Amino acid sequence: MKKSSFLLLITVLCLSVVLAACSNNSGNSNSNSSNKSNSENTSNESSLSNAAKEDNEAKPVKLSILAWNNEKEMKPVIDGFTEKYPHITFDFQFAPPVTDYIAKLQTMLLSDTAPDIFIIAAENRNEIIDGGYALDLTDEPFMEVMLDSNKPMLSKDGRTYAFTQTGWAGGLFYNKELFQQAGITQLPETWDEFIEACLKLKEAGILPLYDRMHDITIIHSAMFGSNVLSKDPTFDEKLFKGETTFAEGWTEVLTMWKEGLIDNKILTPDMIGLTSDQVLNEFSLGNVAMFPGGPWNIPTIEQTNPDLQFEIMPIPGKEPGNKYYNGAPGVGFAINSKTKNKDEAMLFLEYMTTHEGLKQFEEGTGGIITVHGYDSTVHPAYEPAYRDGLIAGKIYLPMVSWDRHQEALRNQFLVSIQDIAVNKITPEEATASLDNKLKEMENK
């Protein structure tokens, strides 16, 4: 009996070892299968996210975020993330852009109450990066989906501190029917052809173009891109290193603008008093052939005149093939350098780079997604700007590209173009005033 009992015990122990081994192998197989599935669904899945998903006993974490998309707009992407990672919840705060948001964030940063995740925009980029408030995200694998053309606004000295998945572009909306009435059968390929088209519209009794001239306009920005950046993409970098001047880059652009549009009375001083709503309404009603705008204008145009046939076009340069749009990357999501939830904050940014996260962000915010490997759904009238502007990187906005003193220089530019429009100063005097303003700000 003792011998048989001993043999029985040995048998039971052997079976236990075999069953345990089978159980472990089964668990590994399921884990491998799960990882393979996740890899197929999200090509940029990192070891961080895999670790988080495999941790069934993860401790609850509350991430704080200050966004300038409201909670309703951010809900789809936040819900998708928390469903995937139920141990993470959000303390969500909202502040409207731009002034209110920047003021609130600055107060929170200075009082050490800033959230784990916040927004970097062109207006607060220097303060955030120079102050060391944001983590360097340059080498994170998920940043590979971000377009190179979107990085400068969120970077300094070659390092990138926020992730953006969106962008916008502005150009000239044109009325197809009015173009046909004036005998314009194809879009202009050069600046001279553009002016010729405007004059044809005038001869046909059609107002060619409205532009309020209340800022560095869409036309000015795109002209600089098509005439200067197309030849030297590093011009603004050289400008703020003291290697070139506003006069060298902008004098020809402002001269082309004055001689083509002001001297030919295509743009007139009285337009300076127009409001954005007036310009948009006149175009929507078919009273003017073109106006500078962006995707935000399309819903109003369609509501006002559902039958209007219109599309957006770029601003051509002196030479054929050089066409640009005004535009910039969307604001970027950054991680507080003092966060106590770094892994979870990284996980959220990584999630927003996945196809699932991008789709949810697009659906919630209506933003135009501009990352590698994702085709955003845009209005047919806006397709040229999306395809040839945003995705091709043919967009320019001075305040994004200028390294510093953006607001002071923008205000000086505004005064200068309005003075040119009323023939108070010349383009040469305008660019001299910009160079003087830059020197003044540098010496403060």
| Exposed/middle/buried for residue 441 (C-beta within 10 Å: 0-12, 13-18, 19+) | middle
CA–CA gap between residue 348 and residue 79 (Å, rounded): 11
H or E segment to which residue 61 belongs:
strand 61-67
Range with lowest mean pLDDT among 124-128, 175-179, 220-224, 306-310: 124-128
CA–CA gap between residue 197 and residue 252 (Å, rounded): 21
Asked whether the predicted pLDDT for residue 9 surpasses 80, the reply is no
Note whether residue 404 is domain-resident.
yes
Are residue 122 and residue 56 in the same domain, yes or no?
yes
pLDDT tens, position by position, 241-273: 999 999 999 999 999 999 999 999 999 999 998
Are residue 323 and residue 334 in the same domain, yes or no?
no
Give the pLDDT of residue 137.
98
Task: Note whether 293 and 169 are within 8 A (CB).
Answer: no
Are residue 215 and residue 300 in the same domain, yes or no?
yes
pLDDT tens, position by position, 279-300: 999 999 999 999 999 998 998 9
Are residue 74 and residue 93 in the same domain, yes or no?
yes
Which range of residues forms the domain containing residue 189?
168-328+394-442
- Written as six digits, the tokens of 201 are 């519209």
Does the pTM exceed 0.75? no
* Mean of pLDDT values over 363-375: 89
Are residue 346 and residue 437 in the same domain, yes or no?
no
Give the pLDDT of residue 149.
79
What mean pLDDT value characterizes the chain? 87
Q: Could you give the percent of the chain with pLDDT greater than 70?
A: 87
CATH code: domain of residue 337 = 3.40.190.10
Note whether residue 428 is domain-resident.
yes
Are residue 253 and residue 159 in the same domain, yes or no?
no
Note whether residue 209 is domain-resident.
yes
Angle at 305 between CA 303 and CA 311, to 5 degrees: 95
Give the pLDDT of residue 215.
78
Asked which of 372, 406, 430 is the last residue of a domain, the reply is 372
Are residue 342 and residue 420 in the same domain, yes or no?
no
Are residue 291 and residue 335 in the same domain, yes or no?
no
Note whether residue 427 is domain-resident.
yes
Q: At what angle do helices 406-421 and 246-257 cross, to 10 degrees?
A: 40
Q: How many structural domains compose the chain?
A: 2
Note whether residue 116 is domain-resident.
yes
CA–CA gap between residue 370 and residue 385 (Å, rounded): 12
Are residue 313 and residue 399 in the same domain, yes or no?
yes
The dihedral region occupied by 265, where left means phi > 0, alpha psi between -120 and 50, and beta the remainder, is left
Are residue 265 and residue 178 in the same domain, yes or no?
yes
pLDDT tens, position by position, 385-439: 999 998 888 999 998 889 889 888 988 999 999 999 999 999 999 999 999 999 9
* Mean of pLDDT values over 190-206: 98
Are residue 122 and residue 185 in the same domain, yes or no?
no
Asked whether the predicted pLDDT for residue 62 surpasses 90, the reply is yes
Are residue 218 and residue 323 in the same domain, yes or no?
yes
Note whether residue 237 is domain-resident.
yes
